[in-house]
Amino acid sequence: MGGGEVSHSDQRRGLMLVLSSPSGAGKTTLSRMLIERVPSLRMSVSVTTRAKRPGEVDGRDYYFVDESRFKAMAQGDDLLEWAEVFNHRYGTPRAAVEAALAKGEDVLFDIDWQGTQKLREKAGKDVVSVFILPPSAADLEKRLHTRAQDSDEVIRTRMSRAAHEMSHWAEYDYVVINHDVEAAFAEVAAILRAERLKRERRTGLTDFVRALQRQLEG
């Protein structure tokens, strides 16, 4: 019987991990925790037409472009998806994502249900989608007030929009209720671990199994 260790069994294609939620339900916090704690996971940097906020860096937080540049990217099929949110446009540049997936790196997306639908249309099985829900309406409102970023009128608008956004929960592969951010993080991390092990993503398995069979038969 042949000896030696069979290699390359861990080769795989990367995946697109999508987190969506109503504003204030915790997806931004969870995204930051995932990037900080999970190896081989990078954040997708969106292109946007909105103005840069204090502390934001072009190319790190977003790629900030004007309307004409955004339109040219959309028409040139340079975006995997794009959507208009609160009168501003956001989109996902195609080239960087496809290069990462080919190298076996996973890409994290913080996008809404519209973007998720469009991403799935173009990327299919590369997409793993997770919808984050707040434990209650009162909790969501409390979180929005705690952030102290918006006026009462904007918060009321976000609460109203949240009801519409939640109506799309059943379109997602997984749903996580964010009672506690550490517990929610553990659930999303478990989803990612399991999805990384899916047979169809593990591009090195065919060669691994064939080599193992040859060893057993030799």
| Whole-structure pTM value | 0.83
Q: Which pair of structure tokens corresponds to residue 63?
A: 């790629």
Averaged pLDDT for residues 71-84 = 93
Using a pLDDT cut of 70, give the percent of the chain over it: 94
For the segment 125-137, what is each residue's pLDDT rounded down to a tens digit? 999 999 999 988 8
Which domains are seen in the chain, by residue range?
A: 16-44+105-217 (3.40.50.300)
What per-residue confidence (pLDDT) applies to 67? 96
Stronger pLDDT, 40 or 2, i.e. the higher one: 40
pLDDT of residue 100: 94
- Structure confidence at residue 22 (pLDDT): 87
Query: Around Cβ 106, how many Cβ atoms within 10 Å?
Result: 24
Distance separating alpha carbons of residues 91 and 76, to the nearest angstrom: 13
